[in-house]
Amino acid sequence: MTSYFDGIAPVTYEGPDSTSDLAYRHYDPDEVVMGKRMEDHLRFAVAWWHSFAWPGGDPFGGQTFQRPWFGDTMEHARAKADAAFDLFAILGQPFFCFHDFDIRPEGASFAESASNLDAITDYIGQKMETSKTKLLWGTANLFTHRRFMSGAATNPDPDVFAYAAATVKSCMDATMKLGGQNYVLWGGREGYETLLNTDLTREAEQAGAFLSKVVDYKHKTGFKGTILIEPKPQEPSKHQYDYDTATVYGFLKRFGLEKEVKLNLEQGHAILAGHSFEHELAMAASLGILGSIDMNRNDYQSGWDTDQFPDSPREVALAYYEVLKAGGFTTGGTNFDAKLRRQSLDPVDLVAAHVGGMDVCARGLKAAAAMLSDGVLETHRAARYAGWDTPDAKKMLKEQSLAEIHDLVVAADLRPEPKSGRQEILENVVSRYI
Ligand code: XUL
Ligand code: CO
């Protein structure tokens, strides 16, 4: 049987001196880093939507890619799955992720779409029996079809809420059927274009009720995976409700779901929100809701969600530093929610993009692990806050009132002296490890 990737051999680890375009120079799945195999740390996933469904368009021009599986029939969907598993065999990565919309043709009715999803997940399930690649997460596309133009859970029309709820149920079923380890909700249209026609209070209540039903369904079905929300501040909606980690945490607390739902954080979305990726990761870890990551980058000039494969060891290292510091992934992993540039037409481009992304992540992970094991940053951080470990400081924080603290300051004639934050030295330390 011919394959779209004919002539491309499985990619292997050749070490840092390799000059091959299609070899791992840093990603050695079996190398043990901080007591764990690299593959088990990173838990790489290929995204079905960007790698197999995206046609290579932009706002000024349509399709540039001509994949043989492009089309709206079940036959096309099966050919797409065949190509996907061929790529997985070449890369050897342990996971993939999908939306319903990526893997099955849209039907004329809800029932037909659901039956297409059932048939294609049977087919994918069979392919998984002879593949090492498992499902990291499934999700529903509640943003492409015109029915969702004014939102899914937050739509002013209850029929759309119902359609979205039914779709999520079918996608959670599909995820469970394929042994998925997480279920993701990204609210692509959960936001607004103009406040002039929007009732913020109702929409938040709808979103809270929707998520509660998802969590109830998880418990009713016994799904052992993690429910993840993926924050993003804008695009496609002008303003999206799941703006960033802190905003989503506030939403989860409001509806009593902060122990039930974690986050899938995406590098590019953090940048769009005006944060660094490591800020979002550190904040989520601190709030106990760090789940999984989408590891892609944005173009810093365009200011848009360009979903490029990661290429900066330093950025990636700082991100994995936060992941490792939080104890590493449990059900989560590293999904490449990343697409080729539209001029990168060939099968080899798809392979090389993933190889490069995996390699840069492996390099970042190793640097992060070394920084953490050597304690170079943590020793400094602990020293910086050491004053707070004294009994007097603890007492002030927990027990003393504003007036009591005032009296202490006066009695001791306190004259605090500023101390250097040592930022440049710490940045130099990071550079040493990259
Ligand atoms: C969009 C995005 C999505 C989610 C899954 O920016 O990141 O692909 O990852 O719906
Ligand atoms: Co994403």
Pocket of ligand 1 contains residue 260 by CB under 6 Å: no
**Residue located nearest, by CA, to atom 7 of ligand 1:** 337
Under the banding of pLDDT at 50, 70 and 90, the label for residue 73 is: very high
**Residue located nearest, by CA, to atom 10 of ligand 1:** 186
Determine the Cα–Cα distance for residues 321 and 338; give it in Å rounded to an integer: 21
Closest ligand relative to 298 C-alpha: 1
Compute, in angstroms, the gap from residue 299 CA to the centroid of ligand 1: 17
Over residues 181-204, mean pLDDT: 98
Determine the Cα–Cα distance for residues 409 and 149; give it in Å rounded to an integer: 59
Q: How far is CA 323 from the centre of its chain?
A: 12
Pocket of ligand 1 contains residue 242 by CB under 6 Å: no
- Percent helix, strand and coil across the chain, each to the nearest 5: 50, 10, 40
Under the banding of pLDDT at 50, 70 and 90, the label for residue 183 is: very high
Determine the Cα–Cα distance for residues 395 and 107; give it in Å rounded to an integer: 64
Pocket of ligand 1 contains residue 102 by CB under 6 Å: no
Q: What is the pLDDT of residues 85-144, one digit of tens each?
A: 999 999 999 999 999 999 999 999 999 999 999 999 999 999 999 999 999 999 999 999
Burial of 222 (0-12, 13-18, 19+ CB in 10 A): exposed
Pocket of ligand 1 contains residue 230 by CB under 6 Å: yes
Determine the Cα–Cα distance for residues 363 and 369; give it in Å rounded to an integer: 10
- The per-residue pLDDT for 302 is 81
- Reduce the DSSP state of residue 203 to 3 states and report it: helix
Compute, in angstroms, the gap from residue 11 CA to the centroid of ligand 2: 25
**Residue located nearest, by CA, to atom 5 of ligand 1:** 186
Compute, in angstroms, the gap from residue 337 CA to the centroid of ligand 1: 7
Ligand 1 pocket test, pick from 230, 234, 240, 280 with the greatest ligand atom count within 8 Å of Cβ, gives 230
Pocket of ligand 1 contains residue 100 by CB under 6 Å: no
Q: What is the pLDDT of residues 361-396, one digit of tens each?
A: 999 999 999 999 999 999 999 999 999 999 999 999
Q: Which residues contact 279 (CB under 8 A, 6 or more apart)?
A: 270
Over residues 229-241, mean pLDDT: 96
- The per-residue pLDDT for 304 is 86
* Average pLDDT value for the chain: 97
Ligand 1 pocket test, pick from 102, 136, 183, 186 with the greatest ligand atom count within 8 Å of Cβ, gives 186
Residues of each domain in the chain carrying CATH 3.20.20.150: 3-374
Looking at the structure, give the CATH architecture of the domain made up of residues 3-374. Answer: Alpha-Beta Barrel (3.20)
**Residue located nearest, by CA, to atom 3 of ligand 1:** 186
**Residue located nearest, by CA, to atom 8 of ligand 1:** 337
Ligand 1 pocket test, pick from 243, 308, 337, 339 with the greatest ligand atom count within 8 Å of Cβ, gives 337
For residues 60 and 24, the answer to whether their CB atoms sit within 8 Å is no
Q: What percent of the chain has pLDDT over 70?
A: 100
Determine the Cα–Cα distance for residues 422 and 414; give it in Å rounded to an integer: 24
143 token code pair: 């943003």
Under the banding of pLDDT at 50, 70 and 90, the label for residue 1 is: low
Compute, in angstroms, the gap from residue 186 CA to the centroid of ligand 1: 6
- The per-residue pLDDT for 303 is 79
Under the banding of pLDDT at 50, 70 and 90, the label for residue 195 is: very high
pLDDT at 301 over 90: no
Residues with CB under 5 A from ligand 2 (ion): 266, 294, 337
Pocket of ligand 1 contains residue 190 by CB under 6 Å: no
Under the banding of pLDDT at 50, 70 and 90, the label for residue 208 is: very high
Over residues 270-279, mean pLDDT: 97
